[in-house]
Amino acid sequence: MRKFREELGIVVDIYDEPLFEIDVFIEGKSDSFISREIYYKITIQSDTILSIENMTEKEKDTFIDLKWWSKEELKKIKNFAPREILNYF
């Protein structure tokens, strides 16, 4: 899918239906909008190298870090969203 390539530098083929979809209200600096988020379960090798090189400069400016998280680590984060994703792995 395009977003994986653009935002993480990897190529992923999606064959299954989405796990779930949600609409997220986002209040921007000059406008507000609703973002449709679609979640899929994918499998990639644990040694896959991820890259933010294809992100736009605006995206890179808001980016802090990239790392793998365990389910246990995600459960401990109070503002992790969407929490529903934890039911799928």
User: DSSP assignment, residue 35?
Assistant: E
Mean pLDDT of 40-60: 87
**What SS3 string covers the chain?**
CHHHHHHHCCCCCCCCCCCEEEEEEEECCCCEEEEEEEECCCCCCCCCCCCCCCCCHHHHHHCCCCCCCCHHHHHHCCCCCCHHHHHHC
List alpha helices for 1-89, DSSP H: 2-8, 57-62, 71-76
pLDDT at 68 over 90: no
pTM of the predicted protein model: 0.67
Banded model confidence at residue 64, pLDDT cuts 50, 70, 90: confident
Residue 46, pLDDT > 90, answer: no
pLDDT band at 33 (very low <50, low <70, confident <90, very high): very high
